[in-house]
Amino acid sequence: MSADLSLGQAPVRTTFGPVLTVKNLSVVYETDHPVPAVKNANFELGRGEILGLAGESGCGKTTLAYAINRLHQPPARIASGEVTFHDRDGQDVDLLELEDEALRRFRWSKLSMVFQGAMNALNPVRTIGNQLDDTLRAHEPSLRKPARQARCAEVLRLVGVDPQRLRSYPHELSGGMRQRVMIAMAMLLEPQVMIMDEPTTALDVVVQRDILREIVRLKEELNFAVIFITHDLPLLLEISDRIAVMLRGEIVELDSAESLYRSASHPYTRKLLASFPSLSGGRGAFIRSGEDSGFGGNYDFEEQP
């Protein structure tokens, strides 16, 4: 089911029960010459689903994520649209209508975010334990200190970090460990949706693989949904259930990972797929010619775990 989403078109629906629905969401940067950064974005996010969001730098991926979470700052402005959260308890929450205090309570407890460059987002003069504890004290003030400490240790174990690291400062951790701590912080209140904005950027490929395995494993165990943002389409083909491709602020194609890989309908998606070399062919041929004999990766979706 490919989709070239245009003005007024209904969102493409997933076969999963929805946890988040975005309809005709548009974001404008109000400068001397207003810039439309996101144009009529439409999609549903299913429970337990990983939805990949791909596209070139500057296409609006992060702006869309910030708008969903109401984190955008002037001059960014949501010009139109709806963002609806479908809670487990059956309640629908209009995120664009939440007042400040209700929005503060909603963030992290229902929908959390791992920010781009998150490795450097930790406070360098406070221990990991203190920073995790701050989140719990802000959102769960009734929790006593022993319960908070136990929860902090638990989330570190979930992401593969020794709870002894609660006493560590960020500079004492490797880049991969800091990234795992940020993922643990996003999971601390057991949200139903997690937005991850390029969470493995600047990590070496081995650490990247380990973190991706943890994300997929945790998603399966805890049944939260993920919006995974990256410009790395091959990576999304590996981990995503569905992929949305953005170009100049628009979602130009949304489909299952397998269908998008085998029969992409939009020319930009096909160009993205052709932009990484295959494992066959002569060495250097891809660079010299600028073309490839086929899409890279040699994926076999039927054999994916």
- The more confidently predicted of residues 282 and 286 is 282
Q: Is the pLDDT of residue 211 over 60?
A: yes
Q: Name the pLDDT band for 121 (thresholds 50, 70, 90).
A: confident
Q: Is the pLDDT of residue 287 over 60?
A: no
Q: Is the pLDDT of residue 276 over 90?
A: no
Q: Is the pLDDT of residue 299 over 70?
A: no
Share of the chain above pLDDT 90, in %: 64
Give me 262's structure tokens.
């085998």
For residue 162, the model assigns a pLDDT of 96
Q: Is the pLDDT of residue 253 over 60?
A: yes
Q: Is the pLDDT of residue 98 over 50?
A: yes
Q: Is the pLDDT of residue 10 over 80?
A: no
Q: Is the pLDDT of residue 259 over 90?
A: yes
Q: Is the pLDDT of residue 11 over 50?
A: no
Domains within the chain, CATH numbers bracketed? 1-107+192-296 (3.40.50.300), 111-190 (no CATH)
Q: Is the pLDDT of residue 190 over 80?
A: yes
The model carries a pTM of 0.85
Q: Name the pLDDT band for 207 (thresholds 50, 70, 90).
A: confident
Q: How far is CA 117 from CA 17, 37, 114, 172, 214, in A?
A: 31, 21, 9, 18, 19
For residue 67, the model assigns a pLDDT of 96
Supply the mean pLDDT for the chain.
86
Per-residue HEC secondary structure of the chain comes to CCCCCCCCCCCCCCCCCEEEEEEEEEEEECCCCCEEEEEEEEEEEECCCEEEEECCCCCCHHHHHHHHCCCCCCCEEEEEEEEEEECCCCCEEEHHHCCHHHHHHHECCCEEEECCCHHHCCCCCCCHHHHHHHHHHHHCCCCCHHHHHHHHHHHHHHCCCCHHHHHCCHHHCCHHHHHHHHHHHHHCCCCCEEEEECCCCCCCHHHHHHHHHHHHHHHHHHCCEEEEECCCHHHHHHHCCEEEEEECCEEEEEEEHHHHHHHCCCHHHHHHHCCCCCCCCCCCHHHHHCCCCCCCCCCCHHHCC
pLDDT (average), residues 86-91? 93
For residue 193, the model assigns a pLDDT of 97
Per-residue HEC secondary structure of 37-68 comes to EEEEEEEEEECCCEEEEECCCCCCHHHHHHHH
Strands 193-197 and 76-86: unpaired
- The more confidently predicted of residues 300 and 267 is 267
For residue 289, the model assigns a pLDDT of 55
For residue 14, the model assigns a pLDDT of 47
Interatomic CA distance for residues 257 and 252, integer angstroms: 15
* Predicted confidence (pLDDT) per residue in 138-159, tens digit: 999 999 999 999 999 999 999 9
For residue 8, the model assigns a pLDDT of 34
Q: Is the pLDDT of residue 304 over 60?
A: no
